[in-house]
Amino acid sequence: MSEVLKVGLLGLGTVGSGVVKLIENHQQELRHQIGLPVQVEKVLVRDRSKARDVVLSEESVTLYGEEIVENANIDVVIEVMGGITLAKEYIVRALKNGKHVVTANKDLMAVHGAELLSLAAENGCDLFYEASVAGGIPIIRSLTDGLAADRITKMMGIVNGTTNYILTKMTKEGLDYEEVLAQAQALGFAESDPTADVEGLDAARKMAILATLGFSMDVELDDVVVRGISSVTKTDLEYCEQLGYTMKLIGLADRDGDRVEVSVQPTLLPKEHPLAAVNDEYNAVYVYGEAVGETMFYGPGAGSLPTATAVVSDLVSVLKNMRYRVNGHDGAKPLHKKTLKADNEVFAKYFFRLKVLDKAGTFSAITSLFAEKDVSFEKLLQLPIKGEAAAEIIIITHTTDKETYEYLHRTLAALDVVQSVESSYRVEGGK
């Protein structure tokens, strides 16, 4: 090992600049921990002339990733460029060249994580990815090390800051989805094309990564059932409030032996649940382990410096491993084979909001449908709709299975007395 640890950086966007700053500003701490100074040797950028808030010498900037992944002076490659194809190509070449890799790339890890971790192990290299899930929260490490002795059976994550910001704003200020989304875009909290965030895909990627690791199973992105928040209305949120719940976009990973369910969907949580108090752009991951019980990890899910702390803490781990020559041992293959749960094995409570005809027999027609399927009510609310011969009925059921839920949804919609099923959501976290 040389006298200076040389790092190559693929990408100099929000996270990349944060990494450069953190390495510069924390030299003393880094040296205390790893015994030698760290230097950013080369940085891949898209445009040499772009104005930046970090100062880099002319020769440390390059337009060619090869100058990093093929560079004999570089020990560790940090990939913060995003995207899948090119990032993967660079990481593969870096690993084959014996370089350790730290990545913040959830898209890549969700899709090619298993393959890349194998490749890293074959080459005796570390491949760490703490920053790919929940930014500054050390959740990957907590799952691999902190809760190493436990058997994790459930995880619920608020793992997308944009949607949490939108739902918090809608709830607190009684605003509509479109209105808050526009504000969030203006403030830079939401992308100009917000699809991946608001439709739950970003959260799904993170849940695939968490479930793979937490359950030690090969959970793939396609295994995640996804529903976003774009159909959530302020009316739904008002009823949630009234009934003592808060709506969050929850990534859920649940297992029962080797039978597993992974989903992302708007979910009602009781106000007392630890996740219910996670507001604005903050993230949190709730983890239930058989032995430890309930734990939760809370923090900033994104942002330049928060995400950079996760990247640099991975870098520190790589460097400690290099010092003792023990890299490449962390990519343990999944212990369990997964089987996805069938719909009749997925249990939850459900919220229904129905628009119904305000006449005799309506209530009874609806309740007998639920009775027929043996589903009882936890909460029930009927309210007239002003100026219409219609009413709203809000139902929160006791626990039932997803097959029954879908049957109820379908059958309710077809009832004569029901004008429409306005909305329905999963409810979690109660007794």
Residues of the binding site for NADP(+) = 10-17
Residue 188 binds a copy of itself (CB under 8 A): no
Q: Which of 15, 121, 137, 412 binds a copy of itself (CB under 8 A)?
A: 137
Residue 294 binds a copy of itself (CB under 8 A): yes
Q: Which of 13, 37, 124, 138 binds a copy of itself (CB under 8 A)?
A: 138
Tokens standing for 198?
């608001």
For β-strands 390-397 and 347-357, DSSP reports them as antiparallel
Using CA of residue 400, residue 401, residue 405, residue 408, what is the dihedral sign?
negative
Is 206 assigned a catalytic role?
yes
Write the DSSP assignment of 278-335 as a string of letters: --TTEEEEEEEETTTEEEEEEEE-S-HHHHHHHHHHHHHHHHHHHHTT-TT---PPPS
Contact of 108 with 87, CB cutoff 8 Å? yes
| Shortest reach from residue 342's CB to a copy of itself, in Å | 25
| Shortest reach from residue 266's CB to a copy of itself, in Å | 21
Residue 149 binds a copy of itself (CB under 8 A): yes
Q: Which is nearer to a copy of itself, 260 or 391 (CB)?
A: 260
Contact of 62 with 41, CB cutoff 8 Å? no
Q: Which of 309, 397, 400, 424 binds a copy of itself (CB under 8 A)?
A: 309
Q: Which is nearer to a copy of itself, 295 or 382 (CB)?
A: 295
Q: Which of 67, 150, 179, 403 binds a copy of itself (CB under 8 A)?
A: 150
Q: Which is nearer to a copy of itself, 27 or 344 (CB)?
A: 27
Residue 326 binds a copy of itself (CB under 8 A): yes
| Shortest reach from residue 144's CB to a copy of itself, in Å | 9
Query: What φ, ψ does residue 307 adopt, rounded to 5°?
Result: -65, -35
> Which listed residue (42, 88, 99, 206) is catalytic?
206
Contact of 406 with 367, CB cutoff 8 Å? no
| Eight-class DSSP state of 145 | I
Using CA of residue 118, residue 119, residue 122, residue 125, what is the dihedral sign?
negative
Residue 340 binds a copy of itself (CB under 8 A): no
Q: Which residues contact 265 (CB under 8 A, 6 or more apart)?
A: 200, 225, 226, 227, 249, 250, 252, 425, 426
SS3 149: coil
Q: Tell me the number of residues near a copy of itself by CB under 8 A.
A: 58
| Subset of 19-38 contacting a copy of itself (CB under 8 A) | 22, 26, 28-30, 32-33
Q: Which residues contact 419 (CB under 8 A, 6 or more apart)?
A: 355, 356, 357, 390
Binding interface with a copy of itself (CB under 8 A): 18, 22, 26, 28-30, 32-33, 130, 136-138, 141-142, 145-151, 216, 272, 274, 277-279, 282, 289-300, 303, 305-306, 308-313, 315-317, 320, 324, 326, 329, 332, 335
Residues tagged active-site = 206
